[in-house]
Structure formats: structure tokens, C-alpha cells
Structure 1
């Protein structure tokens, strides 16, 4: 087994050698049980993706992957892109930055891999972007502003940044007459970025924080002390700057007697299913339209392609993964019939003011932040997503 194969992972609980390569011909892993389309002597273009498939961010990671897989499966059924079959190759980094870097380097060693798609996490995305400077990294799943300020020419951001998200959440709370607003964040680069955005948003609204609480880190389940601190301060709104650990925090907050309204950031969406009834009434920012908002053409295509791939559960993470794949797919079309890493990079920056069916992307040679869409949604008492 070479270094590339060692970096891939199976999603099947009982992988065989063929599954261990985790090759997504037609955009779906062998574990889904769906047949890949037939290509006679077709050219193959490979896309690498590294994300958490086994740790605290598994909900977000696998959600994004299901969406991007559904897109490439549909593309391949329609004949591929410029006649080439697209293979999406996945690697589990267990939400560990060093593993994300190792996976990226393994992908870079395979000349058939021309780009990387939606790495998950702030430190993970930073490692991936740095590890493959000559390869496009499309749709990193983080909104950390400091990472974007590095202006890496190979990073193409498909989601809004966290400052924009928190500004929208604070503005929504203020509009509703809620001015005692606090935040809980993880004490790491992600959390520090969120805290800075929170302070800026409050200053803009001429408010002071009702409470500022932190957890030890993005993956730390030690959320009890922060929950007790927030419950004691009793803010009207607590902005939950957590992702995979958000369910544990919300549960601890309610057990501590905290009755504050919770507003999560977009990466909270991947853990909503783990909250059960605790998610009811929770608001959160969205960097994509609702996956149920069929007034958007891209949502209708997403739903159809997900169903065709055997996935009936629509979610924000899978819609984001789908949109990331759409953006990369457009870059591949513009790169021509024999895309290289260099021609794809050049093609990506020519995606200017392009409407993907309700999501508009605007890149250029000097701009890698392609989308500023932010909305706020609430989980109703019946579990419905209302935006």
C-alpha cells in the first residue's frame, strides 16, 4: 500500500481492500451500496478531501461529504465534466491538525489529484492550505477571519466569515429587544476569532457583554464550568461559539438552571441532531440557504441529487458540501478537458459574479472570499427549521 492509499479511510464498518481505497467513483463511497456509472476508458480527475469521520466533528464532516458526494455522483451520471469522470477520495483526520496535514501531503503526492475540497476545522484547514500551496483548496469549513487574512492564493472560501455571522446574530437579538448578550467560546484559535468578532459586534451595537465564558478547546467536553457561569449571569441570549461540543454545553446549561436563549454559529448545525429536544428554540446563523428552501434552484437540485444518492436527510452541512462541490465543478469546467493544478487555480479565480441558483460566488485574482450570505434560523417546537 502506498502513502496515498494509507491516508484514505473506509466508511464501511467492515472494509475490504477495495473499500479501503475509499474512492468515490460517482461521488459515493462503496459503503452506500450504490453502483457507480459506467465509463469506458474514461479520463479520471481526482479530488481529495480530509475531514473528521470519527471524532467530535463527525456530524459536520460526514454531512459535508454526503453533499459533495451527491453532486459528483449526479455529474458522473450525466457524463462527467468535460468528458472526465470525477473521483472524490476521502481521508479521516479525526479532527487532528497533524493528520489533516499528513492527508493533504499524501493527496499532493498523487499527480491525479488536482484539488482539495472542504477541509474541516480552523487549524486543520490552515495545515491543509499550507501543505498544498500549488493546489486549489475549495470551501474550507471555517469562518476564522485571521486565516483569511493570510490571503493564501490557493484558498477559495465559499462561506461567509465568523465576524459576519456573529454580527448577524447580535443584530437579530437587538432587533428583538434582547440587549443582555453573552458568549461561550473554545479557548483556541477558533474561539479567539469568535470572541474578537463578538466584541466588535457588541461595540457596534454600543453594548457590553453580559457574560464571557470559555471551554478548554474545540474538542474538550469540559463544558460544565462555563455552563454554570452562564447560568449564574442569566443573559437574555448566549451565543454558543462551539461546534461538536455544543450539545454537551446546552445540556449542562439547562441542568444548571440556565434559561437563556441560545444562538449558535453555523458550525453548530452539524450537532443539532445530537441535541434532540434541546435544539428546540435554538437559533443559529446559516451561511447557506435552508436545505428545505425550495424557492432556491440550488436547493431543488441538491434535494434531487441527495435523493438519487439514497440520502433522505437534508441538512445544512450536506447542503454546504454540495455547494462547495458545485463551485469546484464550475472551476473544473472552466479549466478545460485536461485540468492541471495550475489551470484549475487560474480557472477558479475567474468565477466572478456567478449565480449557482440562489448562491452567488464572486472570486477574482485579488479576492478569495466568494460569498457573504448569512441568515438566521430557529428550530421550532416541532423540530422544523424556520428561517
Structure 2
């Protein structure tokens, strides 16, 4: 028997379990039998660091509720390219150093592909700098200075604070209100808001009516600023505060202040804590009203929230839902076996993308996806009117 025949009849080595699974998966795919493709069964993991226990808990839990509803619905529909998405939450207590530690922990997990909606200006800065090779999608801050930094890994879904303040002041001007003041926190977030406020007033050929500040984003020492605003009695006061906004509005009314209050989008998560004090409050929105079913994205959001066991709709949860939808589109464009680099490239290719009534437009040199800004008012019966 020749050597060639001997090789022909040599028994094949016993296939490994991985080879068997791979062959079954391939056969199923070729035959179109609808069997699970085990070779693609690894979960796509997404990290989310936000405040779940401190002053910004309302915003943080709202964002996560919306993003969870989106990914749960996505998974029920089969996931992305047949692969499920797992959203992993870490509480940073609204502390930048903990947000950074959470981001580094996410980065140490090789299955973690991106980070979703970090909450806060300093928190976002720490997260983006800590993980330059991972996509950071939908930070919940509109601080303009952050967007001017060279952080190509960060994709902003919401409009910026300058655009919000422009919209609020333009709305006030249309209503004939020219005496407009502001209260802001004396920190990087607040300084950015103050600069935007002054620029918007200059554009409208107006002068500041009163400028007051609190010690910081998390400081509950709002009494002095409230008293200063009450004494100046502007027609409008723009509230550049987030979690401390309810305390400020309460202090303003207690000090006899009767000014109309206009909040920024970051105030929205605190509306429920204001109770009746929220009635008449106007504020900027960077997503549609969660009740505006003329938008396709809102109809999908409401259906998925209800399917997730939640019938209460809010601006923060709609924003979290939209952030998740944008990231999911980036994951789809990253291909069937996405890497962190592929996700970054996939997000960059999102241009003129209709999210369901809101356009998202990234690109090679553009990381600001949405220009959507609207103004809403809380009516006397507590309804959101836009």
C-alpha cells in the first residue's frame, strides 16, 4: 500500500466541541432552518454610568429606564444581527472620580463595546478621557466647552445649552418679555451656561436683568441666589440648575419672587419633585414631548415603555430611549462581529438618519447629532404643553 493510500484511509481526528457547534451553525445558516447561530451568540455589552442615588437620581434613573426599554424591545425582536444586547449599570453617585472608575472598569471588560449616556458635565469629561478607544454615546449634558475638546470617541445626541438658551430667550422676546435674569451653579457647567446666556442676550440686543449663582451643581445653598432674584424681580429667570432646581424655585417663591421661571432641559428630571410649583414653568426640551405621538419615535417609545412595565412617560426616559436607538444603529453598522473600533466607525457613518421625526447627523468631523430644541410649559393641571 502506497503512502498516498495510507493517508487516504487514516481515520479523521475526532472533532472538537467548538468545531461541531461551528459546523451545525454553518449548516443551519446555509439551509435556512432558523436554528440559532451559536457562533454569534456572544452578548454585546454596553455600560451605563450615572447617578442612581444622589442629587441627580431622577435624571439618571429616567435615562436608564428609557434605554432599558429600548434594548429589551430590541432583544425581543432578535437583537442586532442575531445577538442580544446587555445594558450594564453602575452608580457613580454624581461624582466625577467614581464615573471615571466605572468607565475604566467597563473598559477592562473586553466584551464591553461602548458607554451610554453618562450624566453630568465633569462626569462626562472624565468618562470620555478615560476610554479614548470606546464610543461614549449620548452624554446627558449640553456644555459647549466639552464639545470643543478633541474627543472623537464622544457622540452627542442632544443639542447644546447655547441652543437651548437661544430658544428660551427668543421665546421670551416673542412674548414681549425683555427683562431676563439667570441663576447658575458656580462650576464648569454653570460658567458655560452664563456665557451662553450673555451671548444670546447680546444677539437679541438685551442686557442681563440679574445674574445670581449657587455654590455648585450639587449645593442646596440656594437661598441667597433666590433672594437676589426676588429683589431684582425680572420678568423671566432662566434656571441653570438641575437636581437643585426644586429647592431654588421653592426658595424663590418663599422670598416673594413672582418671576416666570424658564428651565433648561436638565431641569426636566426634577419637575415631579416640584409639585404645584412646577405649574407655569417653561423649559427647553432637546427631545420631543413624550406625549407628542405625531412623532414616530414617541409612538415606539411609548409602546416599548408599556411593554417594559412602565406607563409613566418623561423627557429623561425618552432621551435615554433615543440615545439607545442611536447606539444600536452604530452597532448595526459595525457588522456581525463588532469591535470597539468598528462601533466608532459605525457611529461616524450615521448621517441624515431619521430617528422617527428627529434627524441625527454625525460624520467624520462632526459629533453633534441633533439640533432639535423646543419649548414646553407645565399647565395648571400638571400637563406638559409644547
TM-score (norm 1): 0.89
- Asked if 1:277 corresponds to 2:263, the answer is no
Separation of aligned partners in 2, 1:361 and 1:127? 25
| Secondary structure of the structure 1 residue equivalent to 2:345 | helix
- Asked if 1:94 corresponds to 2:112, the answer is no
| Secondary structure of the structure 2 residue equivalent to 1:314 | coil
In the alignment, what sits opposite 1:262? 261
Separation of aligned partners in 2, 1:263 and 1:356? 28
| Secondary structure of the structure 1 residue equivalent to 2:115 | strand
- Structure 2 unaligned blocks of 5 or more: 1-35
Work out whether residues 43 and 83 of structure 1, in 8 Å CA contact, stay in contact via their aligned partners in 2: no
Work out whether residues 188 and 217 of structure 1, in 8 Å CA contact, stay in contact via their aligned partners in 2: yes
Separation of aligned partners in 2, 1:137 and 1:359? 20
- Asked if 1:381 corresponds to 2:380, the answer is yes
- Asked if 1:118 corresponds to 2:117, the answer is yes
- Asked if 1:54 corresponds to 2:20, the answer is no
In the alignment, what sits opposite 2:310? 311
In the alignment, what sits opposite 1:158? 157
Query: 1:40 Cα shift?
Result: 8.8
In the alignment, what sits opposite 1:295? 294
Separation of aligned partners in 1, 2:268 and 2:61? 13
Separation of aligned partners in 2, 1:150 and 1:353? 24
1:185-200 correspondence runs (5 A): 185-200=184-199
| Secondary structure of the structure 1 residue equivalent to 2:163 | helix
In the alignment, what sits opposite 1:344? 343
- Asked if 1:179 corresponds to 2:178, the answer is yes
Work out whether residues 139 and 324 of structure 1, in 8 Å CA contact, stay in contact via their aligned partners in 2: yes
| Secondary structure of the structure 1 residue equivalent to 2:304 | helix
Separation of aligned partners in 2, 1:40 and 1:79? 12
In the alignment, what sits opposite 2:128? 129
Query: 1:43 Cα shift?
Result: 2.1
In the alignment, what sits opposite 2:15? none
In the alignment, what sits opposite 2:201? 202
| Secondary structure of the structure 1 residue equivalent to 2:336 | coil
Write out per-residue CA displacement over residues 46-65 of structure 1, whole angstroms, 9 at most, x where no aligned residue: 00010000000000000000
- Structure 1 unaligned blocks of 5 or more: 1-38
Write out per-residue CA displacement over residues 339-369 of structure 1, whole angstroms, 9 at most, x where no aligned residue: 1000000010000000011111000000000
Query: 1:148 Cα shift?
Result: 0.2
Separation of aligned partners in 2, 1:137 and 1:197? 24
Write out per-residue CA displacement over residues 104-134 of structure 1, whole angstroms, 9 at most, x where no aligned residue: 0000000000000000000000000000000
Separation of aligned partners in 2, 1:210 and 1:45? 51
Query: 1:151 Cα shift?
Result: 3.2
Write out per-residue CA displacement over residues 28-71 of structure 1, whole angstroms, 9 at most, x where no aligned residue: xxxxxxxxxxx895320000010000000000000000000000
In the alignment, what sits opposite 1:70? 69
Separation of aligned partners in 1, 2:87 and 2:102? 14
Separation of aligned partners in 2, 1:125 and 1:98? 11
Query: 1:265 Cα shift?
Result: 0.1
Write out per-residue CA displacement over residues 191-218 of structure 1, whole angstroms, 9 at most, x where no aligned residue: 0000000000000011111100000000
Separation of aligned partners in 1, 2:37 and 2:302? 29
Separation of aligned partners in 2, 1:377 and 1:304? 23
- Asked if 1:218 corresponds to 2:217, the answer is yes
Separation of aligned partners in 1, 2:42 and 2:115? 19
Separation of aligned partners in 2, 1:386 and 1:116? 33
TM-score (norm 2): 0.90
In the alignment, what sits opposite 2:16? none
Runs of 4+ aligned structure 1 residues displaced above 3 Å come to: none
Work out whether residues 179 and 207 of structure 1, in 8 Å CA contact, stay in contact via their aligned partners in 2: yes
Separation of aligned partners in 1, 2:154 and 2:269? 23
Separation of aligned partners in 2, 1:40 and 1:88? 22
